[in-house]
Structure 1
């Protein structure tokens, strides 16, 4: 299936963003470890969260988490410390995403985990039991989801957990989000050194929990207002905190560099408020940025910059190679279709000098963007409809992984979306 997307001339809308996938998935695991029968409020309805809900509710012998990397990491640690025997598996892409770092760490503290097919990769056979915990060393430059998975089971371990992170620490805001949420559920956990997290063996306390909406989803609306570049436009995004613990709340800063101004309307009852966006037109002419702490925003910012003709040099992108797809190669391939030739370096950098080779932004109208089973490819490329006559997106249904109602929301604010079936 393919969508042909045409942008509206103007934007003046209020959008109810989806709930945060990152917070939802952590809240579900921590609530389950707390023995809570209370489901978190405002839970995300995206694919990645629903597979965790189903696994926790049905407790099947074989758990299929499909393409949900977060679910694979979090559920692996959860199952290792929870009574029962399970096999956890996923899509073919998931079976090629490495998990040995997490498995080795869990085995070190007593977990019974074996590989069903290929060494170092899912599927996994897990025999859950009480784990001893103790001191554990893990590289800081691996996926922060490995680290968060270990942290969340820390309070359930006999000896607690002293987690030493070696070398550079990437995606630290996600680690801090996990730590903050653990404390919200009564855990004794803190940074005791710049690279050591200490978690006491104190059980979680069951509680009600309200989930903030998703700053990652907000980034695509920031992108839209930046690309339409009309000072008269207004977008209001509901359900967000000023001072959010979500790492991708850095969106507001990054897009301020691209000319988007953010103001907050706070809620009187302490609940999340509304973010108001407008285009100021005062942005940078070149952008250099290290995405070490927010790699999931890379696709949005790369696409925004080429569409706005802003040269860039982006670093800290090493985890993009092992996401839903190889995002570095996917970005290079799809942007090349429109004449934007992006250079990569050391599997961790992307560079664009501002040149367009052979085509203008509006030429080659039949170009279709492939999404590679990666939700963020569809989400990030759709706003390019503002700088082209229209844009074609292949396999647009991939957005259900994190933002199931994205296309409905675009339709509601004036986008024209035509569906075609590929032969």
Structure 2
């Protein structure tokens, strides 16, 4: 399936109510499953991953298929290790290529009963009932590993008989997602001590409290891209909070560099032009907000701004290898996403990537999506400059099912 997108003007105006954050929603669902009493979760993400998470938690099936949902798979691995009986947790072929070994070995060291059914270190998993889970409460894992592994361990920590003392070895990546997890745990009555690289969670009970999910700042990034490309702008995005637990809220200061003013009000944030010209050289470390790196690469290409990106360590193990995907797809419009040699960062040891060139849509480009929702949505704003094609466009259902309808509301033509 392919969608054709274009827009005949460069005007963006209107009001959108964004879907709830998938990251927050999935954490709230797991905490509710671990809580002894039910509570209401308002504004859950209208996303396939979240609907799947909710359904699989409630399921009594022996085989549970998480499809392509990485967060769902990782959180359920930890959750099912606490449950009676035996379950098999599987996913798509791409999911079977995404490593799970760090989390499985960590859970095993706590006493979990988990076996690999195919390739060691990868899904699918056979998760049996554990007789001694939590007897050991001290654990060390690499701080450079996925924050979803760390969050999964932290969320089950308070219900373990001896709690958990988790030491993160090395430099912490995606710290904002760990802080999001601890903030949600705190909202539901669980305290934790984070001292240096060690997080201690004593055994305690989650307290049931009704909860409202903030809108998804990752979803907002695609509309910030539209704002950056627009000549006329007055866009209201409802559901976003000025004090956010999401690392992707870094969009507010980032987009100031591109002439976008964010003004918070009672229902969300209003985007207008600040009157400042976009920067000609953009530099950012995405270690706390890796999910908006694709969007920012496309913004730089669309405007012809040179971009220097770092903090992309986790992009290669997402739904696809997002670095390779960006290189291929930006190349279709004569823009380039290049890895810089180590000599450019001899002291910091950071890995830098450079975005160069201005997107040329003379020949209608057809962008591939690689089973990755963010590839589809990051490249869609280029339709502000001319007609584009999006292959396998409905990957957006993973996190933002109404994405194309929202584009149509803003004046885009979407031919299905």
TM-score range, shorter chain: over 0.9
Query: What's the secondary structure of 1:81's corresponding residue?
Result: coil
**Within the alignment, does 1:96 sit opposite 2:91 as a pair?**
no
Q: Does 1:396 align with 2:393?
A: yes
Taking structure 1 as the reference length, the TM-score comes to 0.93
- Residues 340-391 of structure 1, C-alpha deviations (whole Å, 9 max, x = no match): 1221247953213x346xxx613222x200000000000100001112x211
Residue in structure 1 matched with residue 346 of structure 2 by the alignment: none
After TM superposition, the structure 1 = structure 2 runs for residues 340-379 of structure 1, keeping only pairs within 5 Å, are 340-345=335-340, 348-352=351-355, 354-355=356-357, 361-365=360-364, 367-379=365-377
Deviates more, 1:31-40 or 1:72-81: 31-40
CA contact (8 A) 2:260 2:272 kept: yes
Q: Which residue of 2 aligns with 1:270?
A: none
Q: Is the 8 A contact 1:133 1:160 kept in 2?
A: no
Contact 1:328 1:344 in 2 (8 A): no
- Please tell me whether the aligned partners of residues 14 and 234 of structure 2 are also in contact (alpha carbons under 8 angstroms): yes
2:403 pairs, out of 389, 400, 406, with 406
Paired with 2:87 and 2:302, the residues of 1 have a C-alpha distance of 47
Residues 74-105 of structure 1: per-residue CA shift (max 9 Å, x gap): 01001112223110000000000001000010
Counting matched residue pairs gives 404
CA drift of 1:133 comes to 4.5
Pick closer, same or farther for the CA change 1:169–1:87 going to 2, 3 Å: same
The question of 1:132 aligning with 2:135 is answered: yes
Work out the CA distance in 2 between the residues paired with 1:178 and 1:243: 15
Please name the residue that 1:274 is paired with. Answer: 268
* Mapping 1:146-161, distance limit 5 Å: 146-161=149-164
Following superposition, the deviation at residue 211 of structure 1 comes to 1.0
Whole-angstrom CA distance in 2 between matches of 1:304 and 1:341: 13
Structure 2 residues without counterparts, runs of 5 or longer: 343-349
Q: Distance in 1 between matches of 2:89 and 2:222?
A: 32
Query: Which is worse superposed, 394-403 or 406-415?
Result: 406-415
SS in 2 for 1:342: strand
SS at match of 1:84: coil
C-alpha separation between the residues in 2 aligned to 1:390 and 1:252? 29
The separation in 1 between residues aligned to 2:171 and 2:293, in whole angstroms, is: 19
Task: Say what the alpha-carbon RMSD is for the aligned residues.
Answer: 1.4
**Is 2:301 the counterpart of 1:325?**
no
Q: CA deviation at 1:8?
A: 4.7
Instruction: List structure 1 segments (4+ residues) > 4 angstroms apart after TM superposition.
Output: 345-348
CA distance in 2, matches of 1:253, 1:59: 45
Which residue is equivalent to 2:4? 4
1:282 Cα offset (Å): 3.0
1:17 and 2:12 matched: no
Mapped pair 1:259 → 2:254: no
The correspondence for 1:382, drawn from 365, 376, 380, is: 380
Answer yes or no: is the 8 Å Cα contact 2:134–2:163 preserved in 1: no
Give the 5 Å matches for 1:74-223: 74-129=75-130, 130-191=133-194, 193-223=195-225
**Alpha-carbon distance in structure 1 between the residues aligned to 2:208 and 2:84:** 19
Return the alpha-carbon distance in structure 2 between the equivalents of residues 128 and 263 of structure 1.
51
Q: Does 1:418 align with 2:412?
A: no
Is 1:81–1:131's contact at 8 Å kept on the other side of the alignment?
no
Matched, 1:289 2:284: yes
TM-score by length of 2: 0.94
Tell me the CA shift for residue 36 of structure 1. Answer: 3.1
Q: Which residue in the other structure is 1:302 paired with?
A: 297
